[in-house]
Amino acid sequence: MATPTNVPLKDFRNVGIIAHIDAGKTTTTEGILYRTGLSHKIGAVHEGETTTDWMEQERERGITITSAAVTCFWKGHKINIIDTPGHIDFTAEVERSLRVLDGAVTVFDGKMGVEAQSETVWRQANKYGVPRICFINKINQIGGDFYKSLESIHNRLSKNALPIHLPIGFEKDINGVVDLVDMKAYTYTDFTDHELVQGDIPADMLEKAKNARSLLVEAAVEADDALMEKFFEGGEAAISIDELKSALRKRVLGGDFYLVTGGDGRGVIVEKVLDLMNDYLPSPLDVDAIWGKNPKTGDEVSRKPDEKEPMAALAFKLATDPFVGKLIFVRVYSGVLTAGSYVLNTTTGEKERVGRIVRMHADKREDVDKIGAGDIAAVVGLKGTFTGHTLCDVAHPIALEAITFPEPPVSIAVEPKTKADQEKMGIALGRLAEEDPTFRVHTDEETGQTIMSGMGELHLEILIDRMKREFNVEANVGEPQVAFRETIKGTAEVQGKHAKQSGGRGQYGDVWVRFEPNEVGKGFEFIDMIKGGVVPQEYRKPVEQGIVETLNGGVIAGYPVVDIKATLYDGSYHDVDSSELAFKLAGSLATRDGIKKATPVLLEPVMHVEVTTPEEFMGDIIGDLNSRRGRIDAMEDLMGGAKLVKAIVPLANMFGYTGDIRSMSQGRAASTMELAHYEEVPPNVAQEIIEKRSK
């Protein structure tokens, strides 16, 4: 199929497919690619043949790990689709994709309705102000129910979600939808039909469709005063189809109103989802100009989605491609990015040359000379560019807001099996850390071990698997460890004095520092309150360095100290014997002493845990969560007689939980967890941890 060139910007759509794990995002994307002629058959996730899940690990596990970007064309529109992961361990993939998308399709499992992870991705879309439409998938399966799922959207996400299509039939007899805009039925005999057949609404659905359309029209006219007046005077008949569509589009673009459709994501019904993307989701022109800062002056500057403006783009994802090397996925916000040109990376301050530009159809590539404002593609040849970096015109610098990622709470130690693996492991870990901003690697100074940190057990398991397959590195892996932190609850004023006389020139540094708690999440703050010259200016920075290094190494149990204020307020120096090193050591001594005197406590990551379970296992699951030091927050009823348990549980007690919950519930319960916050470890548990570390 030839790809249309010169699609006007108003007909571009950058759309993400977001949902809970297993709701059918990837299958829906497959259906779309099949329908728009990019693939010749629909790949099945469980058989490992889908286009966008192209990593071996994705095919084996039947889940999506990295966001895949594909471009397709539908009725004159160019649609860049990003299929995002649903598993909570890969939440950063969703976060970075939403940052660069204009609209989203939220997919729900019609047998389950709104699930735990559906809420998380919904909140992420709200955070970035992404307008979306809802697709209730799998309503053709046993237990699939469009209306119950719609009710769960109303109860758990938003009352402002209205059907624009009603399904015809129930469960296995689903064979199409009634379109409430043009009041026609669109049906198929087999889900693999090549086109929907337009016809009249079945007689038994007419009344229901009329009522649903009235609600839709009432909601639409709220977008426009003139239209509302017309509606009050002449009723529903006074509003033309075009007026209804443009009013609904206005409501959807407002970001707090959602159109709902449903069907079987494998089949021809995705035509209707594509139509909704074209008709109601924003083009780059509907999105306001993007703001950033001029790195030289610090002034706020904006860029409009226009090819005549200076070029500005955001790198939102990095992938290592076995054939072309490092691929950087970019969203161009303004101007034109041309292959072979030089661009400025304002994050690093370096100039880089754009090698090739490739349009991605999942893992297949098509070379292009340039990409304009509003488009998404991948660039080859950028060496120093990573996720969240801004690329722009050298003569017109702009730094766009970077993407923030949570700190990874789970760590494991890895050791190469052989000497040959050692060097390869360093390269492999470096590559993987470049690709994934929530994956960190460091060497533990005390033990010399390499420590990998990630968002959860599955996240680390997959990274180790990739290391083995993509880089042929065999490694021994330790038990998962929790990333504890230290902080203080009290205040202490201490002296740190480093004085040595041993013949010749001595060393002398003397400081008084006040340590006190900082606001949660604020990190470390150094305040210089030296009056006069009791500590000369050139020695104050070394004092801060001494404090920071000691805090990073931990004081009570060797974990980094966070959320703390250190105020340097007094001290003394010696004309001959003082040096930067002496003051750095003085800062370090003050920190060791001060933290111990300021009521130090240990902090641990606690997780939001949500368990979906049949009612008969509810008692066992609650008892088990309590035994893991969990606090039950809420219990709710779900579709199909299932229950939802929400709890806050320390991460340290949640390793291996997925397996435990399966055996407790005969494999029928499922759980998700995400980092909630850090909180104080109870004294008896803290004592055990400190003793273990000191051994």
Q: Over the stretch 503-538, which tens digit does the pLDDT of each residue have?
A: 667 889 999 999 999 998 888 999 999 888 888 989
**Burial class, 695, CB count within 10 angstroms (exposed 0-12 / middle 13-18 / buried 19+):** exposed
pLDDT given at position 143: 84
Task: Please name the residues in contact with 114: beta carbons below 8 A apart, sequence gap of 6 or more.
Answer: 108, 149, 152, 153, 155, 156, 157
Task: Please name the residues in contact with 200: beta carbons below 8 A apart, sequence gap of 6 or more.
Answer: 184, 185
Residue 38 clears pLDDT 60, i.e. is over it: no
Task: Please name the residues in contact with 662: beta carbons below 8 A apart, sequence gap of 6 or more.
Answer: 669
Residue 626 clears pLDDT 90, i.e. is over it: yes
Query: What mean pLDDT comes out for the span 78-107?
Result: 70
Asked whether residue 73 falls in the same domain as residue 171, the answer is yes
pLDDT given at position 23: 66
| Residue 21 token pair | 């794990």
Residue 292 clears pLDDT 90, i.e. is over it: no
pLDDT in tens, 399-436: 887 767 777 878 888 888 888 888 888 888 887 887 77
Task: State the residue range of the domain holding 439.
Answer: 410-481
pLDDT given at position 503: 64
Select the more confidently predicted residue: 359 or 69. Answer: 359
Q: Which of 249, 322, 243 is nearest to 10 (CA)?
A: 249
- Output the pTM of the full model: 0.69
Q: Please indicate, yes or no, if residue 3 is contained in any of the structural domains.
A: no
Residue 458 clears pLDDT 70, i.e. is over it: yes
pLDDT-based confidence at residue 446 (cuts at 50, 70, 90): low
Query: Among the ranges 356-370, 493-507, 559-573, which has the highest mean pLDDT value?
Result: 559-573
8 A C-beta contact, residue 508 and residue 577: yes
Q: Specify the range with the lowest mean pLDDT, choosing from 88-97, 250-259, 352-361.
A: 88-97
Residue 73 clears pLDDT 70, i.e. is over it: yes
| Residue 574 token pair | 């010696």
Asked whether residue 177 falls in the same domain as residue 127, the answer is yes
Q: What is the 3-state secondary structure (H, E, C) of 480-524?
A: CEECCEEEECCCEEEEEEEEECCCCCCEEEEEEEEEEECCCCCCE
Query: Among the ranges 194-198, 364-368, 388-392, 545-549, which has the highest mean pLDDT value?
Result: 545-549
Cα–Cα distance between 202 and 178 in angstroms, integer? 9
pLDDT given at position 41: 41
Q: Specify the range with the lowest mean pLDDT, choosing from 131-135, 272-276, 409-413.
A: 409-413
pLDDT given at position 2: 40
pLDDT given at position 22: 65
> What is the pLDDT of the chain when averaged over all its residues?
82
**Burial class, 434, CB count within 10 angstroms (exposed 0-12 / middle 13-18 / buried 19+):** middle
Q: What CATH number should be reported for the domain holding residue 625?
A: 3.30.70.240
Asked whether residue 555 falls in the same domain as residue 648, the answer is no
pLDDT given at position 238: 82
8 A C-beta contact, residue 34 and residue 106: no
Asked whether residue 47 falls in the same domain as residue 68, the answer is yes
For 186, 456, 605, 613, 627, the CA distances from 621, given in Å and listed in that order, are 45, 21, 21, 8, 10
Asked whether residue 447 falls in the same domain as residue 591, the answer is no
Query: What mean pLDDT comes out for the span 251-272?
Result: 86
Asked whether residue 500 falls in the same domain as residue 609, the answer is no
Q: Please indicate, yes or no, if residue 554 is contained in any of the structural domains.
A: yes
Sign of CA dihedral 241, 243, 247, 250: positive
**Burial class, 142, CB count within 10 angstroms (exposed 0-12 / middle 13-18 / buried 19+):** exposed
Of 541, 563, 598, which residue is a domain's last? Answer: 598
Asked whether residue 666 falls in the same domain as residue 613, the answer is yes
Cα–Cα distance between 611 and 601 in angstroms, integer? 31
Residue 60 clears pLDDT 60, i.e. is over it: no
Residue 153 clears pLDDT 80, i.e. is over it: yes
Q: Please indicate, yes or no, if residue 622 is contained in any of the structural domains.
A: yes
User: Buried (b) or exposed (e) across 501-521, using 16+ Cβ within 10 A?
Assistant: eeeeeebbbbbbbbbbbbeee
Q: What CATH number should be reported for the domain holding residue 523?
A: 3.30.230.10
Of 598, 625, 659, which residue is a domain's last? Answer: 598
Query: How large a percentage of the chain has pLDDT more than 70?
Result: 87
Can you give the C-alpha Rg of the chain in angstroms?
Answer: 29
Cα–Cα distance between 659 and 645 in angstroms, integer? 18
Query: What mean pLDDT comes out for the span 84-91?
Result: 52
Type of residue found at 430: G
**Scanning the structure block, which residue is given the tokens 């090698």?**
355
SS3 at position 245: helix
pLDDT given at position 39: 43
8 A C-beta contact, residue 110 and residue 146: yes
**Burial class, 240, CB count within 10 angstroms (exposed 0-12 / middle 13-18 / buried 19+):** exposed
Of 481, 498, 529, which residue is a domain's last? Answer: 481
Query: What mean pLDDT comes out for the span 443-471?
Result: 79
pLDDT given at position 549: 93
Asked whether residue 186 falls in the same domain as residue 111, the answer is yes
Cα–Cα distance between 306 and 12 in angstroms, integer? 13
Q: Please indicate, yes or no, if residue 214 is contained in any of the structural domains.
A: no
Q: Please indicate, yes or no, if residue 250 is contained in any of the structural domains.
A: no
Number of neighbouring beta carbons within 10 Å of residue 236: 14
Q: Which of 322, 552, 347 is nearest to 330 (CA)?
A: 347
pLDDT given at position 119: 78
Residue 589 clears pLDDT 90, i.e. is over it: yes
Q: What CATH number should be reported for the domain holding residue 26?
A: 3.40.50.300
pLDDT in tens, 627-645: 999 999 988 887 667 788 9
pLDDT-based confidence at residue 52 (cuts at 50, 70, 90): very low
Number of domains in the chain: 5
Q: Please indicate, yes or no, if residue 192 is contained in any of the structural domains.
A: yes
pLDDT-based confidence at residue 65 (cuts at 50, 70, 90): very low
Q: What CATH number should be reported for the domain holding residue 302?
A: 2.40.30.10
**Burial class, 476, CB count within 10 angstroms (exposed 0-12 / middle 13-18 / buried 19+):** exposed
Q: Please indicate, yes or no, if residue 239 is contained in any of the structural domains.
A: no
Number of neighbouring beta carbons within 10 Å of residue 472: 11
pLDDT given at position 598: 93
| Residue 278 token pair | 């074209």
Q: What CATH number should be reported for the domain holding residue 449?
A: 3.30.70.870
Type of residue found at 77: H
Asked whether residue 628 falls in the same domain as residue 542, the answer is no
Query: What mean pLDDT comes out for the span 18-22?
Result: 70
| Residue 330 token pair | 């970019």
Asked whether residue 544 falls in the same domain as residue 685, the answer is no
Asked whether residue 611 falls in the same domain as residue 554, the answer is no
Asked whether residue 58 falls in the same domain as residue 153, the answer is yes
Q: Please indicate, yes or no, if residue 590 is contained in any of the structural domains.
A: yes
Residue 252 clears pLDDT 50, i.e. is over it: yes
SS3 at position 266: coil
